[in-house]
Amino acid sequence: MPIIQFREALRQAMSEEMRRDDRVFLMGEEVAEYDGAYKVSKGMLKEFGAKRVIDTPISELGFAGVGVGAAMNGLRPIVEFMTWNFAILAFDQIINSSAKILSMSGGQFGNPIVFRGPTGSAGQLAAQHSQTFESWLANCPGLKVISVSNPYDAKGLLKSAIRDDDPVVFMESEVMYGDKGEVPEQEYLIPIGKADIRRAGKDVTIVSFNKMMKVALAAADELAKEGIDAEVIDLRTIRPMDYATLIHSVKKTNRMVVLEESWPFAAVSTEIAYTIQRKAFDYLDAPVIRITGTDTPVSYAPNLVAGFLPNTGKVVKAVKEVMYIQK
């Protein structure tokens, strides 16, 4: 299979869907003339023209609302946010309009729309540009939330998101746009709501998503050197969550560590820990351990950013704790 960058996988997904369905269009800040803030939409203006690749004003609430209205009237918009940190301004449209319109209209209006862009920290961007939003948005009924970790999943899930008849929140990472991976030349779709077992194992289950998957897989490599066989699961979809795969895994390994970048209070890992300990309690040999970012705003200084983020050492320590190797 060809090896392409993460940004290219996203571009292929959008371009293929725009060629397939003329109701699909892209809008957002700098997506057209500048080829995208991260060059995800490079060349798309030239191919599809200014009516389907649309530069918007710096007004997230405004252009998100335009997208919601367009979706209510039969189009299928892709709304790109330069960062989900800026999308806080658009949460009124995402949560109060897009997520609720099907229910509030008694099924008369759907909202087939994709809101996408990068989430989480990306180096020295400090407190207002380093937040994660999966748990915020997954808390709202009516939204589907996807958070991808590699080019293959990015393309297959974005294509599925664009075809979905419900509003989909699609999370990426600024630090992964240059990542490379194998992506098939032929068309493929990945179903929304299905986790991926990235590494099979028998001793402990490590669950993660987005760029923290790199930490999870690196930790599994370190644990293997000590004879600990970790199963690593990439959630891919936060809502609807694939509880069945998680429960099946913990029935085999009897232990679970959940890793994410978010703040600890009411995080995605909180929901997973609660569900596993409620539905698979009899299979657990130890309590589920969560590893998150620290409960503080993210600083600018690189050493403090590193201290905020989960790392391989923390995951290895947590795995040994659930295996009662150390406390």
Active site residue 60: yes
Confidence (pTM): 0.96
In whole angstroms, what is the distance from residue 222 CA to residue 219 CA? 5
What is the predicted pLDDT for the residue at 326? 65
- 10: tokens are 């996203």
Read off the pLDDT of residues 58-95 as tens digits, 9 standing for 90 and up. 999 999 999 999 999 999 999 999 999 999 999 999 99
Residue among 166, 154, 169, 252 at smallest CA distance from 205? 252
Residues 177 and 278 in one domain: no
Q: Which of 182, 212, 242 is the last residue of a domain?
A: 182
> Could you tell me which of 162, 65, 73, 63 has the C-alpha nearest to residue 109?
73
Cβ-based neighbour number of residue 292 at 10 Å: 24
Q: Which domain holds residue 81?
A: 3-182
Q: Could you tell me if 172 and 201 lie in one domain? A: no
User: Same structural domain for residues 150 and 41?
Assistant: yes
Of 182, 209, 240, which one is at a domain's C-terminal end? 182
Domain membership of residue 313 (yes or no) is yes
pLDDT at 69: 98
Is residue 106 located within the same domain as residue 234? Answer: no
191 inside domain:
no
Q: State the number of CA atoms in the 13 A half-sphere of 115 facing the CB.
A: 34
Residues 207 and 167 in one domain: no
Same domain? 298 vs 263:
yes
Q: How many angstroms separate the Cα of 153 from the Cα of each of 10, 127, 254?
A: 10, 29, 28
Give the span between the Cα atoms of 238 and 31, in whole angstroms. 26
3-state percent helix, strand, coil for the chain, nearest multiple of 5: 40, 15, 40
Same domain for 280 and 217, yes or no, is yes
> What is the phi/psi pair of residue 218, to 5°?
-65, -40
Q: Is residue 152 part of a domain?
A: yes
Residues 209 and 118 reside in one and the same domain: no
Same domain, 128 and 68: yes
Count structural domains, the chain: 2
Quick one: pLDDT at residue 160?
Answer: 98
Asked if 31 and 161 sit in the same domain, the reply is yes
CATH number at residue 54: 3.40.50.970
Active-site residue (options: 129, 134, 172, 174): 129
List 8, 17, 60, 80, catalytic entry: 60
Same domain, 220 and 173: no
Averaged pLDDT in 10-residue chunks for the chain of 327 residues? 97 98 98 97 98 97 98 98 96 97 96 97 89 96 98 98 98 96 97 98 98 98 97 98 98 98 96 97 97 94 92 97 82
Q: Is residue 188 part of a domain?
A: no
The CA distance from 306 to 211, in Å, is 14
What CATH number has the domain bearing residue 228?
Answer: 3.40.50.920
* Residue 126 and residue 23 share a domain: yes
